[in-house]
Amino acid sequence: MSSVADRAYEPVIGLEIHVQLSTRTKMFCGCALSFGEEPNTRTCPVCLGHPGTLPVVNAEAVHYGLMIGLALDCELAPRSIFHRKNYFYPDLPKGYQVSQYDIPLAAGGRLGDVRIHRVHLEEDAAKLVHSGASGRIHGAEGSVVDFNRGGTPLVEIVSEPDIRSASEAAEWLRLLRATLRRIGVSDVNMEEGSLRCDANVSIRPAGEATLGTKAELKNMNSFRFIERGIEAEIARQEAIVRAGESVVQETLHFDPASGALTPLRSKEEAHDYRYFPEPDLVPVAPTEAMVGRAREALPELPAARAARFERELGLSSDTARLLSFRGELGDYYEEALGAARADGGADPTALASWVTVELVPRLPDGDPSASRVRPDALARLVSMVGAKRVSGSAAKEVLTAMAEDGGDPEAIVAERGLAMTDSADLGAVVDQALAANAAAVAQYRAGKEKALGAIVGAVMRETKGRADGGAVRELILERLSQ
């Protein structure tokens, strides 16, 4: 029997994601959403929680929520309600957050390989800013509160615990973010907090069906931190279990700078939120027309686009996903492909590889729309490579020039004399190389096939790499067989 110490453990991960919706106004009042305005300029009696005010549900937020539910393949609730989630904190002027509780807007969906537990609507809290060591903020010392964010519409998406590694978690979150960006319901900016992720992590002996006790990592704001935080938490739990102890349920903060995991609160300290139905709001009961409108508003989603790239264009799954999960790259690629098809050149696989492998590292801020390389120009360059009018290495040089100064691939090739040596010229170079490498020729004739390399190398040197290796080989063999 294996001991605890050498058993293999399987991580189990479920994610909870908060998304700020990019509606025009807040969840329950007419205040505009805030993007860095002066503090406390986007407020009204409703979002400041003054007594006697009445909230009204934002129809656009419901529409976006329905779009998210449908994009995640969920069942939409025919009737969902809001609850009050009571707790005291300075960023919560009402003393409760309005959220959905026992009946969420949507549930039981799937994105990729991960099932979606639920999707619900709620409102964001305001923002506390701590002056800390840096002195005064807005003339105040200590902590100040900015109510501009309070009442921003949020959708919370809760996954089932179907994720099995830190890298899978990051990859799935990328797909989710690409999907939300594609449907246009949120800025999904992790640094600015419009997409925030909590990770629930447990481990269990490999092969075991029951779940272990989970710990929750709060509010991680980059893919790299999420991956590192989960990895650190898996290692922490394995060490606990291998030492013969048990993981306790708690909420942790991961500090990316030090890699430390520090407890925020344990199960015993967990809040009792005293949920009760919000009496001031009517239930959300989407009509057929509302659901139809949400369905019609959905474009092709990244997962479907990746599948189409694989199926119809023969791209590898990694390349298809890279292009689709970064929608702007997929758009660039499809535009280049359209141009290539219009003039009969560039193979889809070659073009995809030029976009993902060569263009991406040459992009300013990773943004293809800011690149000086136009999609049709890239398509023409790639078809020149395909037609052996320019070698791969020369084409990379041309692409660098295009990325720096714009311009036309044909013109750059002509200007720099990068065109592939044509076959008449190549014949003469080959003859020269054969004459100059008599020893290698003799070795080849004596059965040493490797000797051919020296002759090919001589031709490539002479043409400065502007010859096609395959064609050179063929020509040499042809000459040697005469």
Where do contacts with ligand ADP occur on this chain (CB under 6 A)?
12-16, 117, 158-161, 200-202, 211-212, 214
CB 4 to ligand ADP: min, Å: 19
Q: How far apart are CA 421 and CA 289, in angstroms?
A: 64
Contacts of 63 (CB under 8 A, 6+ apart): 290, 293, 294, 297
CB nearer to ligand ADP: give 117 or 380.
Answer: 117
**Count of C-beta atoms within a 10 Å radius of residue 385:** 22
From ligand ADP, Zn ion, none, interface partner of 12 (C-beta below 5 to 8 A by class)? ligand ADP
What 8-state DSSP symbol labels residue 140? Answer: B
* 201: nearest Cα among 7, 15, 8: 15
From Zn ion, ligand ADP, none, interface partner of 390 (C-beta below 5 to 8 A by class)? none
CA 17 and chain centroid, separation:
14
H helix runs in 268-417, sequence order: 288-296, 302-313, 317-325, 327-342, 348-353, 375-386, 392-405, 409-415
CB nearer to ligand ADP: give 236 or 396.
Answer: 236
CA 304 and chain centroid, separation:
15
Q: How far apart are CA 32 and CA 471, in angstroms?
A: 65
CB nearer to ligand ADP: give 216 or 335.
Answer: 216
* Rg, C-alpha atoms of the chain: 30
Contacts of 245 (CB under 8 A, 6+ apart): none
Measure the CA angle with vertex 262, ends 260 and 264; round to 5°.
155
Q: How far apart are CA 324 and CA 302, in angstroms?
A: 5
CB 239 to Zn ion: min, Å: 48
CB 203 to ligand ADP: min, Å: 8
What are φ and ψ of residue 435, in 5° steps? -65, -40
CB nearer to ligand ADP: give 115 or 228.
Answer: 115
User: Contacting Zn ion (CB under 5 A), which of 15, 19, 21, 47?
Assistant: 47
- The letter for the amino acid at 408 is D
**Orientation of helix 375-386 relative to helix 327-342, angle to 10°:** 60
269-328: contacts with Zn ion (CB under 5 A)? none
CB 166 to Zn ion: min, Å: 39
Q: How far apart are CA 343 and CA 328, in angstroms?
A: 23
Residues pairing with 159 in the sheet: 116
- Per CB under 5 A, does 44 bind Zn ion? yes
Name the residue number minimizing CB distance to ligand ADP.
Answer: 14
Q: Which stretch binds Zn ion (CB under 5 A): 23-31, 122-130, 211-219, 306-314?
A: 23-31
From ligand ADP, Zn ion, none, interface partner of 114 (C-beta below 5 to 8 A by class)? none
**For residues 57 and 27, is the Cβ–Cβ distance under 8 A?**
yes
From Zn ion, ligand ADP, none, interface partner of 160 (C-beta below 5 to 8 A by class)? ligand ADP
From ligand ADP, Zn ion, none, interface partner of 47 (C-beta below 5 to 8 A by class)? Zn ion
User: Contacting Zn ion (CB under 5 A), which of 12, 29, 434, 467?
Assistant: 29
CB nearer to ligand ADP: give 25 or 221.
Answer: 221
CB 187 to ligand ADP: min, Å: 23
CB 13 to ligand ADP: min, Å: 6
Q: What are the Cα distances from residue 127, in Å, to 89, 152, 419?
A: 11, 11, 60
- Per CB under 5 A, does 31 bind Zn ion? yes
CB 281 to Zn ion: min, Å: 15
What are φ and ψ of residue 300, in 5° steps? -60, 130
CB 191 to ligand ADP: min, Å: 23
CB nearer to ligand ADP: give 15 or 359.
Answer: 15
From ligand ADP, Zn ion, none, interface partner of 220 (C-beta below 5 to 8 A by class)? none
CB nearer to ligand ADP: give 15 or 373.
Answer: 15
CB nearer to Zn ion: give 101 or 147.
Answer: 147
From ligand ADP, Zn ion, none, interface partner of 330 (C-beta below 5 to 8 A by class)? none
From ligand ADP, Zn ion, none, interface partner of 29 (C-beta below 5 to 8 A by class)? Zn ion
Tokens for 474? 């063929």
Please give the size of the binding site for Zn ion, defined by CB under 5 A: 5
Q: How many Cα atoms are found within 13 Å in the side-chain-facing hemisphere of 167?
A: 0
From Zn ion, ligand ADP, none, interface partner of 290 (C-beta below 5 to 8 A by class)? none
From Zn ion, ligand ADP, none, interface partner of 173 (C-beta below 5 to 8 A by class)? none
Q: Which stretch binds Zn ion (CB under 5 A): 43-51, 329-337, 417-425, 474-482?
A: 43-51
Residues pairing with 438 in the sheet: none
Exposed, middle or buried, 342 (CB in 10 Å: 0-12/13-18/19+)? Answer: exposed
CB nearer to ligand ADP: give 240 or 291.
Answer: 240
CB 145 to Zn ion: min, Å: 15
What are φ and ψ of residue 151, in 5° steps? 95, 0
Q: How many Cα atoms are found within 13 Å in the side-chain-facing hemisphere of 55?
A: 29
From ligand ADP, Zn ion, none, interface partner of 44 (C-beta below 5 to 8 A by class)? Zn ion
CB 125 to Zn ion: min, Å: 14
Q: How far apart are CA 272 and CA 10, in angstroms?
A: 32
Binding positions for Zn ion, rule: CB under 5 A = 29, 31, 44, 46-47
